[in-house]
Amino acid sequence: MEELTDRNSYVKATMADGLCVLEATTTWCTQCKAIAPFVDKMIKKYPDARFYKYDTDTADDISQELNARQMPTFHLLKDGDLMDSVTGAKAEALEKLIKESYDGKVVEGDA
């Protein structure tokens, strides 16, 4: 998963067409580490979505713009528009949001 480090990389990533999932994280966040294997599964299952993360300690301009105050927070953007977000390591809620906005192919299993 590509890491966004500043506002320019954030704008470039989120203004592209299609579904974009951003994860607000930090190096010390235990819930972020706990949900990481699930996020990896989502990356494989929804290959037409773009997944990015940013560290709220170093990319504070992004976290301020998205109002990310708890980690992890997942923001879903589609065609540049913020659709919704999930705060916390809530796997089912995250996948539900992705499914609702995803238009691409779905890869089931251990692909």
Active site residues: 29, 32
Q: How far apart are CA 107 and CA 55, in angstroms?
A: 28
Structure tokens at 1: 């998963």
Neighbours of 59 (CB within 10 A): 22
Neighbours of 75 (CB within 10 A): 24
How many angstroms separate the first and last alpha carbons of the chain? Answer: 17
Q: Which three-class secondary structure state does DSSP give residue 46?
A: coil
